[in-house]
């Protein structure tokens, strides 16, 4: 899973570089979570990673979730969410995320066996 909000990404440049590497790997399978208020932004990211599906996650609890993390940039992040919603468009007819039950995730590895071989 590639989520820009994950603390392992120190910068947007680093995250985009990882997405580009993901897109070059023909065997890669991943879920990418990326802001994309405009159709153009979603299209750019979808091309970069060679996405098979693009969804948008909309909700009303973003500010609550941001504040619950207690990070130093909470006020700036909440302002960014407001700007995102002000710019949001559906010119590409993007659909609402249908839920994790509709995402094909890799199967868990088989547990080790205790049988002697």
Delimit the domains of the chain by residue range. 12-101
Structure confidence at residue 108 (pLDDT): 60
Structure confidence at residue 88 (pLDDT): 94
Please say whether the dihedral angle defined by the alpha carbons of residues 72, 74, 76 and 80, taken in this order, is positive or negative: positive
Structure confidence at residue 105 (pLDDT): 66
Structure confidence at residue 19 (pLDDT): 95
Contact assessment for residue 42 and residue 36, using Cβ atoms and an 8 Å cutoff: yes
Tokens (6 digits) for 80: 């960014």
User: How many CB atoms neighbour CB 95 within 10 A?
Assistant: 11
Backbone phi and psi for residue 32, each to the nearest 5 degrees, phi listed first: -115, 125
Structure confidence at residue 71 (pLDDT): 77
In the predicted model, residues of the chain with pLDDT beneath 50 are none
Q: Which residues 6+ apart lie within 8 Å of 21 measured at CB?
A: none
């Amino acid at each position: 899973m590639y989520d820009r909000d994950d603390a392992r990404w120190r910068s947007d440049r680093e995250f985009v570089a990882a997405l580009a590497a993901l897109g070059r790997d023909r065997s890669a399978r991943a879920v990418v979570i990326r802001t994309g208020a405009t159709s153009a932004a979603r299209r750019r990211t979808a091309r970069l990673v060679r996405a098979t599906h693009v969804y948008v996650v909309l909700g009303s609890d973003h500010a609550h979730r941001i504040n619950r993390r207690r990070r130093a940039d909470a006020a700036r992040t909440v302002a960014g969410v407001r700007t995102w919603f002000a710019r949001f468009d559906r010119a590409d007819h993007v659909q609402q995320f249908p839920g994790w039950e509709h995402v094909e995730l890799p199967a868990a590895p088989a547990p080790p066996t205790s049988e002697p071989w």
